[in-house]
Amino acid sequence: MTTHFKLVLIGMLSFSCSGIIHASEISTTSPVTEEKTILHLPGNSTAPVKLSSKKINSLEDLENAQYAYIDKHYENYELIGGYTLKQDNAFIRCVLIKKDGKIIATEFDVTECFKKLKSKSKAIKEELDELEKQIGVIKTDKTGK
């Protein structure tokens, strides 16, 4: 396993054990304190970064794609962790970094990647199914707020 993957896995496990919103609950805010966090906005969009599933053939590939994106946009950052949530019908993976004293949250839409990975192997499907049971659900109104 790569170091990035291990760090995210540890972050996912520790976050899910220490206060993740269960699927039966509904939250209208992000699990990260919004006043201290800057949301990375790709271009002028407020939508999460959509990762292409073409080169994603394992969970490690998915993690590497997220870090490659962050590496491209930020230098000299500290990885804090991350979390996964379900927003409406999309799976969103948020990676948190610290740069220049600020926390930056980069959201990735990993829905298509999850679908592809579930079809790859029974072990990955079971792991993602278990993750889906544990993650939070955020519902948005029709305007996307």
Q: How far is the C-alpha of 111 from the C-alpha of 89, rounded, in Å?
A: 8
For residue 21, the model assigns a pLDDT of 31
> Would you give the DSSP letter of residue 48?
P
Is 144 part of any domain? no
145 falls within a domain: no
Residue 140 tokens read as 């948005």
- Domain containing 81 equals 3-138
pTM of the full structure = 0.65
Question: Has residue 24 got a pLDDT over 90?
Answer: no
Tens digit of each residue's pLDDT (9 = 90 or more) over 41-94: 777 677 899 888 888 999 899 999 999 999 999 889 999 998 888 888 889 999
pLDDT in tens, 92-125: 999 999 998 899 999 999 999 999 988 888 888 8
Domain count, the chain: 1
d(CA 58, CA 117): 6
Pinpoint the alpha helices (H) of the chain. Answer: 3-17, 59-73, 111-120, 122-134
